[in-house]
């Protein structure tokens, strides 16, 4: 080959080694405005959807506003909403083709790491009243001490009432806290220990009151006073706490982060970032070729188990209902053919490269904040254990869909091999034989009470999910003989 001129080198490198550009660098003026507007809607969503139950309500309210109808057998409607136990929700727009020919699915999760209450949570010690907790999902326990917490959830009484409790997020509400020990006295108990052992789960008790009933003598006067306050307002007693689901989450609203307001900081962004983007995408769907579905599931943070997790049979029931709604037969065969012919994005977040901890990332395979939605071909941990590894054919199809729609995206895994890892709902959906891959925004300080994401990546996520819904039906996977 003849010696290259500088011009030839530039041309060749542009052709063979295209550089990744950030969302901001690719965005036109209208998109720059849209990024900031989307950021406002996203913060509102995070504030309204602090638990899975609250997320279901928030999602359904927005869906109703866009013409979705609650599903019931025989209902003639193209835009259908499904509410499963108040903790899982699905929104579907029937396509021109039957669901048996495959659907386009987005699957995000609406649960997030938090503190739950134990079954017998309430006690008084030294005239202070506490609630005992059991953490939910992968938390670093120290992050939950010495910060304002809110309580959200339900208490179900034995006479059949279900009472909603929301304390700590309204402006004039009190908040609660798990105390931390002062540094003067924590040298042995905490500071000389390994980080994972320094805070014991059994010491993570929520302080909720100290004011005794006005009387002479009497046992547990503060606890009784607290119970009286609860009973006056909500009508339940101590025994009712056994049939309650009360979740402790960081109090306060999601906020802009940075002088330039380019970031969103707040609780629950794993995975309500993807849930929000999926919601925006499904609400915008109109007369699609294939049936477009967004499912928002619970229990991902604890392994997708249980009736409301992705491992439940919810998706099969949903497919059967969609087949019926489309005027087709919901036989076992049809349900599984439809699922196997589907394409799905497991809409979940990934860890963004943190320059303070470069040693946990592989710089050449890390997600970068602001560089768009992140495609993760496989998750799992060392040796690809527990991974759902997407087919190359499917990845190639998606690349084309996004490049045609001018979506800024990146491909990245989570951390260095053997450094750790994680899973998503992808492997539980892959059992149906559908094409599935992880796609979601990346974020910093994931699983902390104050996760940080880039507003620019939200636009990319919404565009990526919309392009996925709109892409023409194709056989994305070759050699299928089901």
Residues that bind Mn ion (CB under 5 A): 270-271, 348
Angle at 424 between CA 253 and CA 71, to 5 degrees: 75
Least gap, CB of 440 to Mn ion (angstroms): 8
Nearer to Mn ion by Cβ, of 169 and 271: the residue is 271
- Going by C-alpha positions, the residue among 462, 458, 370, 372 that lies closest to residue 410 is 372
- Going by C-alpha positions, the residue among 332, 303, 370, 441 that lies closest to residue 27 is 370
Least gap, CB of 476 to Mn ion (angstroms): 24
CA-to-CA distance for 249 and 164, rounded, in angstroms?
15
Among all residues, whose Cβ is closest to Mn ion? Answer: 271
CA-to-CA distance for 468 and 465, rounded, in angstroms?
5
Residues 6+ apart with CB under 8 A from 36: 261, 455
Least gap, CB of 431 to Mn ion (angstroms): 19
Contact, 373 vs 460, CB < 8 A? yes
Q: How many residues does the chain have?
A: 482
**If you ran DSSP here, which 8-state letter would residue 190 be given?**
I
CA-to-CA distance for 27 and 270, rounded, in angstroms?
25
Q: For residue 177, give the 3-state DSSP assignment.
A: strand
Nearer to Mn ion by Cβ, of 102 and 268: the residue is 268
Least gap, CB of 425 to Mn ion (angstroms): 8
Least gap, CB of 357 to Mn ion (angstroms): 18
Q: How many CB atoms lie within 10 A of CB 119?
A: 11
Q: For residue 89, give the 3-state DSSP assignment.
A: strand
DSSP β-ladder status, 69-70 and 79-84: parallel
Nearer to Mn ion by Cβ, of 299 and 337: the residue is 299
Nearer to Mn ion by Cβ, of 87 and 221: the residue is 87
Nearer to Mn ion by Cβ, of 131 and 248: the residue is 248
- Going by C-alpha positions, the residue among 104, 35, 113 that lies closest to residue 301 is 113
Least gap, CB of 473 to Mn ion (angstroms): 29
Nearer to Mn ion by Cβ, of 150 and 347: the residue is 347
Nearer to Mn ion by Cβ, of 54 and 131: the residue is 54
Least gap, CB of 269 to Mn ion (angstroms): 9
First-to-final CA distance of the chain? 49
Burial class (CB in 10 A: 0-12, 13-18, 19+), 83: middle
Least gap, CB of 270 to Mn ion (angstroms): 4
Nearer to Mn ion by Cβ, of 121 and 421: the residue is 421
């Amino acid at each position: 080959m003849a010696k290259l001129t500088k011009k030839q080198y530039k041309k060749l490198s542009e052709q063979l080694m295209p550089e990744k550009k950030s969302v901001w660098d690719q965005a036109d003026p209208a998109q720059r405005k849209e990024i900031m507007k989307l950021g406002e809607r996203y913060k509102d969503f995070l504030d309204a959807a602090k638990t899975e139950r609250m997320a279901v309500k928030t999602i359904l309210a927005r869906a109703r506003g866009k013409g979705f109808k609650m599903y019931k057998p025989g209902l003639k409607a193209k835009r259908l909403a499904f509410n499963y136990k108040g903790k899982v929700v699905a929104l579907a727009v029937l396509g021109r083709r039957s669901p048996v020919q495959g659907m386009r699915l987005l699957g995000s999760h609406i649960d997030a790491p938090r503190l739950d209450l134990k079954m017998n949570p309430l006690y008084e010690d030294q005239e202070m009243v506490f609630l005992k907790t059991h953490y939910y999902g992968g938390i670093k326990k120290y992050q939950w001490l010495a910060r304002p917490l809110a309580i959200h959830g339900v208490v179900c009484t034995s006479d059949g009432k279900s009472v909603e409790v929301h304390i700590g997020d309204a402006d004039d509400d009190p908040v609660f806290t798990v105390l931390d020990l002062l540094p003067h006295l924590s040298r042995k108990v905490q500071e000389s220990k390994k980080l994972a052992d320094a805070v014991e789960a059994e010491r993570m008790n929520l302080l909720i009151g100290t004011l005794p009933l006005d009387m002479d003598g009497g046992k547990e006067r503060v606890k009784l006073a607290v119970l009286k306050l609860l009973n006056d307002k909500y009508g339940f007693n101590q025994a009712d706490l056994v049939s309650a689901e009360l979740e402790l989450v960081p109090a306060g609203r999601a906020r802009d982060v940075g002088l330039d307001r380019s970031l969103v900081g707040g609780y629950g962004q794993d995975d309500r970032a993807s849930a929000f983007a999926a919601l925006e995408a499904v609400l915008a769907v109109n007369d699609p070729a294939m049936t477009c579905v967004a499912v928002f599931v619970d229990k991902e943070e604890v392994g997708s188990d249980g009736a409301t997790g992705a491992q439940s049979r919810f998706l099969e029931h949903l497919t059967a209902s969609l087949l019926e709604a489309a005027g087709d037969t919901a036989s076992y065969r049809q349900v599984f053919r439809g699922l196997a012919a589907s394409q799905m994005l497991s809409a979940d977040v990934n860890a963004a490269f943190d320059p303070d901890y470069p040693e946990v990332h592989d710089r050449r395979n890390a997600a970068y904040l602001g560089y768009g939605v992140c495609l993760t071909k496989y998750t799992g941990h060392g040796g690809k254990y527990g991974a759902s590894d997407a087919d190359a054919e499917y990845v190639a199809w998606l690349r084309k869909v996004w490049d045609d729609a001018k979506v800024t995206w990146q491909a990245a895994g989570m951390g260095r091999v053997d450094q750790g890892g994680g899973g998503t709902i992808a492997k539980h959906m892959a059992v149906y034989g559908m094409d599935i891959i992880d796609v979601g925004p990346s974020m910093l300080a994931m699983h902390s009470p104050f996760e940080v994401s880039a507003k620019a990546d939200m636009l990319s996520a919404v565009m990526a999910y919309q392009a996925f819904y709109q892409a023409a039906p194709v056989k994305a996977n070759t050699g299928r003989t089901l």
